[in-house]
Structure 1
Amino acid sequence: MTLQIRSLEEYQKEYQKSIENPANFWAEIAENFVWKKKWSKVLEYDWLQPETKWFLGAQLNITENCLDRHLDTKGDQTAIIWEPNSPSEEAKHISYKELHSQVCAFANVLKNNGVKKGDRVCIYMPMVAELAVAVLACARIGAVHSVVFAGFSSTALAARINDAACKVLLTADGGFRGDKITPLKDIADEALKTCPTIQKSIVYKRTNQEVTWNPSLDVWWHEELEKVDDNCPAEVMDSEDILFILYTSGSTGKPKGMVHTCGGYMVYTTYSFQNVFQYKEGDIYWCTADIGWITGHSYIVYGPLSSGATTVMFEGVPSYPDYGRFWEVCEKHKVNQFYTAPTAIRALAKHPTELVDKYNLSDLKVLGTVGEPINEEAWHWYDDHVGKNKCPIVDTWWQTETGGMMISSLAGITKDKPTFATLPLPGIQPVLLDNDGNEIQNTEAEGILAIKNPWPSLARTIYGDHQRYKNVYFSAYPNHYFPGDGALRDGQGNYRITGRVDDVVIVSGHNLGTAPIENAINEHEKVVESAVVGFPHDIKGNALYAYVITYDGVVPDDELAKEIRQVVSNTIGPIAKPDKIQFVSGLPKTRSGKIMRRILRKVAANETSNLGDVSTLLNPEVVQNIIDNKL
């Protein structure tokens, strides 16, 4: 199955078609999939509500497209190569036939444990092949999966379970990550103390460590598999039925459960996967992300498997047992397309290039980046040392909310430009807006990025809170989707993402809302108030800088800073710990009480020469005090 654009002329032609008549364009693409019933209408949308529906009336099951349809022609081909945390443990090669059998068997385990179509299943697991099996097994029976990254704390896990009212939890005794073991079962047990909707916890044995057992709740994964066969017909799903919920940080309060549906998501992730990476039959493709993030959903599981590709899943980290691990895995599995985060590239670039040069990377054809814009220095290091100046680099811009890649070069087809995501994919209509929401007509411009008109993989709502979905993404600029990013456009129409224009910071490729981090800091008994902003970091891209006000009589010191970091780690996860904590006497506020984060960002980034007008602040004197005591 191929949906691929083969030349720049063809890209231009397809793009034009997709803009002039989106319904016809996507109907043609959708003909390449297996449907149980065809659609009566391709697209219906009203962005004032906002509501979007694709392939109305169509019925399908996404797992038949990812598995069943490949069995006759590719049954013995490897679907997933699972590379373990430690190179001394053997990799697994799972064929399409084997994956189909494992998914059907585990789907029956879920049914045996009371899971029905529409039920929510929370998955809190390490990057083992069984994580992919679990995701597909949920989809097989029409259950809604909600994967929570296995680095999150018990508090964060509980919040996500409760928000979706999940019925079953899938977890593991523990997870290997470099030279550490994460005690996943212990963390999950702590979370479940406040999760009344969970009826069963199915535990995968990975690390063989001692765990606490609750016989009325816990069952072993391997023991449950012994009770079932691998015959499980795929549930008939409506195109607009929920496929999964995935939580992303909000700029205010609790995480947002983004809802993705079956039909449009399948069509768009497959189409974008094949075109951006220019995947060819027999290629080995590796995305280094965790399935806990949208990148893992779309471009480890659904897009590649629907395309009949061989996809690599990696349990480990780039630094273990040394900083050559990525390249060792590329050589070992003869990887052709390699997709990772700029933060990983920057971390690896700090180490001797011999760690790259000692491995044979001649099979690489395409390099990719995801999670945040890549800086020029890292781009050239990646190009020179990994790609040997012969691999196109696709710098992909997209989000949890968009479901798939939105702006990116197509490998070897459209032209790369360092630090630019470049051109929109067919079907995607980006525009730049000025501060008043007017579209900037000049080709060469800088402004607020927005998207006109829907595309198939757009998240349909925030679970249980459609008003919030409308407020966050559609109210600022009516009839546009607002992603929260700024961008500039060059004379050729290439886009460069310039960063967030709201209170979300991208740290090591992960979106972190500043509000939940501030809430966690403010929970500390000695803290009155805090403000968190991002600042440039040469490895992470951005890091977190916290300004903290303590109660009178408290003498702030390193010990207090350590306690605050621990609170954040326990509440949200280690990834959200601030790199810098500056204790301050006050925070710059407007007369309405709003914290002026713009000023705090500039101070954190050492850009104090142009702070703009501070005279309108309620307390302008605190600004100089903050600058004088900057870390």
Structure 2
Amino acid sequence: MTGYRDTFRASIEDPEGFWADAATAIDWYRTPTQVLDSSNPPFYRWYPDGELNTCHNALDRHVEAGHGERTALIYDSPVTGTRRSFSYAELRREVAQFAGLLVSLGVVKGDRVVIYLPMVPEAAVAMLACARIGAVHSVVFGGFAAKELAVRIDDAAPKVIVSASCGIEGKRVIEYKPLLDRAIDLATHKPDRCVILQRPQAEAALGERDVDWVEAAEVATPADCVPVAATDPLYILYTSGTTGKPKGVVRDNGGHAVALRWTMSNIYDVGPGEVMFTASDVGWVVGHSYIVYAPLLTGATTVLYEGKPVGTPDAGQFWRVIAEHGVKAMFTAPTAFRAIKKEDPKGSFLNDYDLSGFAYLFLAGERLDPETLRWAQDLLKVPVIDHWWQTETGWPIAANLIGLEPMPVKPGSPTVPVPGWDVQVLAPSGEPAEPDVDGAIVIKLPLPPGSLPTLWNDDERFVASYLSAFDGYYLTGDGGHIDADGYVFVMGRTDDVINVAGHRLSTGSMEEVLAGHPDVAECAVIGVADQMKGQVPRGFVVLKAGAEPDEDELRAELIAMVREQVGAVASFKDVAVVPALPKTRSGKILRKTMRGIADGAEEPVPSTIDDPGVLDTLRPILLR
């Protein structure tokens, strides 16, 4: 591990030297002479006197270097039967034209633009167009409820909103325009204009505030890149599931560009001209970082996919995309692979496609259970890399750095801290935890470039939410441990640690055991109130397609497995077979909502829930 160790040590012992070197991979209008401004802790700023433009780095510089014909973006939509490719030169033209449209509507540097679009190329175009003119974009997941969109409109106060007539989820067409109109009615702040992309699946009637995307873009004058300060905001991204006043994570221009460019080479091993397929949504941080910005900053090809891993029309959609587009590295959530495993446990659809050019699968977003890891490894015969990060951090905190130095995989661990992230585990007292002892996972300040410098218009909440628990540390909200080899084990959110008769136990360790049963596709364990023990665990399992075990026998087997592998102290005696688990649209299981229902103090159902009907089905089981 010499290469990794030396690189990591350099990033921690001399962060300014390390990140000054990384910044040479980016074009600057004004090269920064100061790397880190630490004059106002805990508000650290990177490259404070630098000037650049993120869109120039993502598009123009590749065209100017003679790579304009290289493919920048592939749009693959099984739900509409559409495939379309954009070269770097073509994408730059589209972006410059739309940037000109925004300028014609009065948008200037520093103005906010809310983007409420489905997974179509225009979503990336709108984001890059904002970056081109120095506007601050805030992407809201397409199809989000009107109330939740309204509170984000009020917080960001956009001059313009960019939306579409509709989105498509599976076989459902979701009309966006009524949701948008209702959100604007609910919001105190009113945008000057709304730019609407008409889709043939459901065209929308336009009002006085509305502008037709195609018609307005045709007559717009293309806009050039506007230099911005490295510390100027590039975007605001509101954390999913937020209730009340939303938490707007801010990302700056300079640190973001430097960090993402560094990750493509060192973590993902993807270079110019190579293809990366990130199966996520631009409404989430993964879509921001690894569908739009990082691949384009690198000069690579990115695949923008509109659809789900199964059902359009089969469980082989991901394999088709990898084979058709020559994908080298894929990034998605473990939930997507659990869905494929449930529908096609033997991977029979894989036989229809040639994946000989496929090199790596990266998974993040939820804890990767060892059983899904083993299944994917056995099926794909390529490295399957778990890695861990957050909306707030913008890029991986812990990973197996394939491009720097591949390391042995340890199931249950996203491997080691990525250079730049001084990851530590603290006991409740604030003292460092011993190896293999669970505690709060924290990161020593200052956070590296590309992480959030604060929350939008809310420095006080930034400090209270993330920096107040342990002085000098960022609180990740996740619990886990670091082993003697330096591998980080993220066992779940700290509120997923339950106290059974005085014993602190991770529900993640119990989920690992349940997921190891050959009939189980996915599972969840929550802690519920118990008069005698304080809390006891309850398990929920979803079976693989075709599995038809005797449910009483299955429950007995699962209880015995947890007793044997976790111990009788877990008091695990309750497990239910359910048809599905409630999830957000990004694939995260709604454990907190399930706990609230079971304990009779029901949490509000997040507006990001994928299918409310699943929760309705589960409710009687939770209440019994």
Judge same fold: TM > 0.5, yes or no: yes
Check whether the contact 1:448–1:487 (CA below 8 A) recurs between aligned residues.
yes
Query: What is the DSSP-based 3-state SS (H/G/I as helix, E as strand, rest coil) of the residue aligned with 1:329?
Result: helix
Partner deviation per Cα, 1:18-42 (whole Å, 9 max, x = no partner) = 1110000100110121000011311
TM-superposition CA deviations, 1:203-250 (whole Å, max 9, x none): 012234242321x201100001111233x2211100100110000047
Q: Against the structure 1 CA distance between its residues 547 and 306, is the aligned structure 2 distance closer, same or farther, given a 3 Å change threshold?
A: closer
Aligned residues of 2:415 and 2:487 also touching (Cα < 8 A): yes
Specify the alignment match of 2:419 in structure 1: 426
Change (3 A) 1:258 1:578: farther
Aligned to 1:560: none
1:82 corresponding residue in structure 2: 75
Deviation at 1:406, TM superposition (A): 1.1
Aligned equivalents of 1:172, 1:154: Cα separation in 2: 14
- The match for 2:358 among 344, 364, 367 is 364
Matched, 1:277 2:271: no
Q: Quick one: distance in 2 between partners of 1:201 and 1:325?
A: 34
How far does residue 314 in structure 1 lie from its aligned partner after superposition?
Answer: 0.2
Residue 323 (structure 1) shift? 1.6
Aligned residue type for 2:356: S
Q: 2:400 touches 2:406 (CA, 8 Å); kept in 1?
A: yes
Determine whether 1:111 maps to 2:160: no
Shift of residue 151, structure 1, vs aligned partner:
3.3
Contact 2:114 2:138 in 1 (8 A): yes
Which AA in structure 1 matches 2:192?
Q
Matched ranges for 1:388-399 at <5 A: 388=381, 391-399=382-390
Residue 206 of structure 2 is matched in structure 1 by: 213
Aligned match of 1:545: 594
Q: Is the counterpart of residue 169 in structure 1 residue 161 in structure 2? A: yes
1:270-315: CA deviation from partner (whole Å, max 9, x where unpaired):
1112211111343211000101000011111111100100010001
Q: 1:347 aligns with which of 326, 339, 347?
A: 339
AA at the equivalent of 1:221: W
Check 1:547–1:427 CA distance in 2 against 1; reply closer, same or farther (3 A cut).
closer
Please show how residues 466-505 of structure 1 align to structure 2 within 5 Å. 466-502=459-495
Question: Which structure 2 residue ranges, 5 or more long, are not aligned?
Answer: 498-506, 509-525, 527-536, 543-580
Aligned with 1:409 (options 397, 400, 406): 400
Equivalent in the alignment of 2:548: none
Residues 67, 100 of structure 1: 8 Å contact kept: yes
**Which one of the candidate residues 120, 127, 135 is aligned to 1:135?**
127
Q: 1:535, 1:542 within 8 Å by CA — same for their partners in 2?
A: no
Letter in 2 for 1:416: V
Preserved CA contact (<8 Å) 1:106 1:133: yes
Q: 1:251 to 1:166 in 2, by over 3 A?
A: closer
Query: Using the alignment, how far apart are the partners of 1:433 and 1:252 within structure 2?
Result: 29
1:287 aligns with 2:334: no
Among 45, 49, 53, the residue aligned to 1:61: 53
Query: Structure 1: 5+ residue runs without aligned partners?
Result: 1-7, 507-513, 515-532, 552-563, 585-603, 605-628
* SS of residue matched to 1:51: coil
Report how far residue 416 of structure 1 moved. 2.0
> What secondary structure, in the 3-state scheme, does the structure 2 residue paired with 1:397 have?
coil
- 1-side partners of 2:362 and 2:538: how far apart? 24
From 369, 374, 395, the equivalent of 1:380 is: 374
**What's the offset of the Cα at 1:179?**
1.1
> Taking structure 1 as reference, are residues 446 and 41 closer, same or farther at Cα in structure 2, changes over 3 Å only?
same
Cα deviation, 1:156-209, whole Å, max 9, x if unaligned, reads 111111111111110001112221111111211111112333110100122342
**Per-residue deviation, 1:472:** 0.5
- Partner SS state of residue 97, structure 2: helix
1:93-108 alignment to 2 at 5 Å?
93-108=85-100
Pair 1:315-2:306 in alignment: yes
Indicate how the Cα distance of structure 1 residues 536 and 568 shifts in structure 2: closer, same or farther if over 3 A, else same.
Answer: same
Asked whether the 8 Å contact 2:165–2:176 carries over to 1, the reply is: yes
Distance 1:545 1:130, change over 3 A: same
- State the 1:466 CA deviation: 1.1
Q: State percent identity of aligned pairs.
A: 36
8 Å CA contact retained: 2:71, 2:273: no
Task: Name 2:518's counterpart in structure 1.
Answer: none
Give the deviation of 1:59 after TM superposition. Answer: 0.5
SS in 2 for 1:356: helix
Aligned to 2:556: none
Alignment size in residue pairs: 535
CA contact (8 A) 1:116 1:142 kept: yes
Q: Counterpart of 2:24 in structure 1: which amino acid?
A: E
Give the 3 Å change call, closer, same or farther, for CA 321–549 of structure 1 in structure 2: closer
Aligned mates of 2:16, 2:539 — CA distance in 1: 42
Corresponding residue for residue 615 of structure 2: 579
C-alpha distance in 2 between matches for 1:503 and 1:300: 30
The aligned residue for residue 22 of structure 1 is 15
How much does 1:374 deviate?
A: 0.4
Match of 1:561 in 2: none
Confirm or deny: 8 A CA contact 1:152 1:573 kept in the other structure: no
Verify: 1:439 aligned to 2:488, yes or no: no
2:185 is aligned, of 171, 193, 207, to 193
Tell me the CA shift for residue 491 of structure 1: 1.8
Contact 1:368 1:396 in 2 (8 A): yes
1:301 to 292, 316, 321: 292
Do the aligned partners of 2:413 and 2:487 also contact (CA within 8 Å) in 1?
yes
Instruction: Give, in whole Å, the separation in 1 of the partners of 2:298 and 2:376.
Output: 27
Q: Which amino acid aligns with 1:466?
A: D
Between the aligned partners of 2:451 and 2:315, the Cα distance in structure 1 is 36
Q: Structure 1 stretch 245-254 or stretch 313-322: which is displaced more?
A: 245-254
CA distance in 1, matches of 2:98, 2:76: 21
Counterpart Cα distance in 2 of 1:219 and 1:134: 14
- The alpha carbon displacement at 1:534 in A equals 10
Residue of structure 2 equivalent to 1:611: none
Q: Any idea what the Cα deviations from partners look like across 1:411-430, whole Å, max 9, x if unmatched?
A: 26222222211111111110
TM-score by length of 1: 0.80
Looking at structure 2, the residues matched to 414 and 243 of structure 1 have their Cα atoms a distance apart, in angstroms, of 34
Taking a change above 3 Å as real, the CA distance of residues 172 and 583 of structure 1, as seen in their structure-2 partners, is closer
Give 3-state SS (helix, strand or coil) of 2:91's partner: helix
Task: Say whether the 8 Å CA contact 2:597–2:623 is kept in structure 1.
Answer: no
Among 330, 333, 339, which residue is 1:338 paired with?
330
2:218 to 192, 215, 226: 226
The 2-side partners of 1:281 and 1:249 are apart by 32
